[in-house]
Structure 1
């Protein structure tokens, strides 16, 4: 009786060891596979990050090319809708002569001029902008510069504003600098925009180039200028893949270290 009981006990122990061995082998196989999956995922995460950088570089290049194709354009805001399409050319010609009287008439030429869709932020009663393509770039720059300094234009030109024609991506990226430019204007610090998107700040006879909002914050802190965060902070909803790491300790087959 005791021999039979011992035999059954030994057999049960042997079967249990066999089950544990099989379970250990399966666990080791799963751990190895999970390690391979983690390595493959991390390689993919690195590749995705590289692709994101390349995509950003391509988008910036495309943005620069689009802005260059618009560099002869001027956007006129505030010209009443009463000025019909047939009268736009004459109205702009008179505006050019009033704004920059020293420029000869033969350089104040434009290839086309027409109304464009109204930006969403303008009130409903505001007239649509007029987009004009100047034939000579230096004439366009002279008009833009004159519009910045001349504040004594007679009616009906005293309510007209001139803007550069920029791509939507450029305008979006410039809005990220709004808190920086607000602080600069508040402290009467001159600045201008560079290409593709950078701030050129004049400080003590030196031009400081700012390429990111973070650089702008550091510069303001260095100059002792208070920084007021934007009331509309940029929301970065882009999800970046995160890397995996092994949070277990591998076991040898059989379940023992």
Structure 2
């Protein structure tokens, strides 16, 4: 029968197609299983990342708590503090800031030079009240000068907090140009005084706020009457 060879070929083709379909079904099943595994792994990774971020925040908070009584002095010429920085600074600071301490000295537990650019001295004060007085006097004094060097006094924060604060640099410049009063509060929140108090956690939020003001009022130049800021 002439048709038999054709039927045999068709039968073989059908069998091959069925085999291919079976393999495709198996492959789809395996792919689906892999996708499910990837989805679970991604969820696990997201959870682990969230836990890691939370742990890092706690560690950073602990680090900043350990720096609670620290201040950072920038601008003092290298070697100016001599071989005993604590002995030098405990009388130098009150004289520079014109503030009184018991026995005309501020209690300093330790003073550590750091090879930053610009050079910095990290001081750990005996108590937080002295730190607050020093920072307040520094802001009230404006630009401090010693031996023809500009001196700046800041709070001492962790690298993570400093970077977050530095991210506000551009928007703080724009706020100054508009004469808007602002201040950084711990850890890295910008407090803006304009038609009430506004708090911003991200520089982008401040930029959006300024954009909304630009539609209402033109930019004005401000005078040098803003309080000095922490880093």
Give the TM-score taking structure 1 as reference length. Answer: 0.74
Question: Structure 1 residues 87, 57: CA separation in 2 closer, same or farther (over 3 Å shift)?
Answer: closer
**Residue-by-residue CA offset, 1:146-181 (whole Å, 9 max, x unaligned):** 111203756438621112111111112222222222
Larger strand fraction of residues: 2
CA deviation after TM superposition for structure 1 residue 88, in Å = 5.0
Question: Structure 1 residues 138, 63: CA separation in 2 closer, same or farther (over 3 Å shift)?
Answer: same
Counterpart for residue 86 of structure 1: 84
SS of 1:223's equivalent?
Answer: helix
Larger helix fraction of residues: 2
Q: Give the count of matched residue pairs.
A: 216
Give the TM-score taking structure 2 as reference length. Answer: 0.82
Unaligned runs of 5+ in 2: 220-231
Counterpart among 145, 152, 157 of residue 166 in structure 1:
157
Larger RCO, structures 1/2 (Cα 8 Å, 6+ apart): 1
Counterpart for residue 208 of structure 2: 218
1:207 aligns with 2:204: no
Q: Distance in 2 between the 1:88 and 1:107 partners?
A: 10
Counterpart among 74, 83, 105 of residue 71 in structure 2:
74
Counterpart among 10, 16, 20 of residue 19 in structure 1:
16
Question: Structure 1 residues 94, 202: CA separation in 2 closer, same or farther (over 3 Å shift)?
Answer: same
CA deviation after TM superposition for structure 1 residue 85, in Å = 2.1
CA RMSD of aligned residues (A): 2.5
CA deviation after TM superposition for structure 1 residue 60, in Å = 2.0
CA deviation after TM superposition for structure 1 residue 201, in Å = 1.6
- Whether the aligned pair in 1 keeps the contact of 2:71 and 2:156 (CA below 8 Å) is yes
- Whether the aligned pair in 2 keeps the contact of 1:89 and 1:113 (CA below 8 Å) is no
Unaligned runs of 5+ in 1: 123-127, 228-257
Give the greater-gyration-radius structure (CA).
1
Q: Distance in 1 between the 2:22 and 2:85 partners?
A: 86
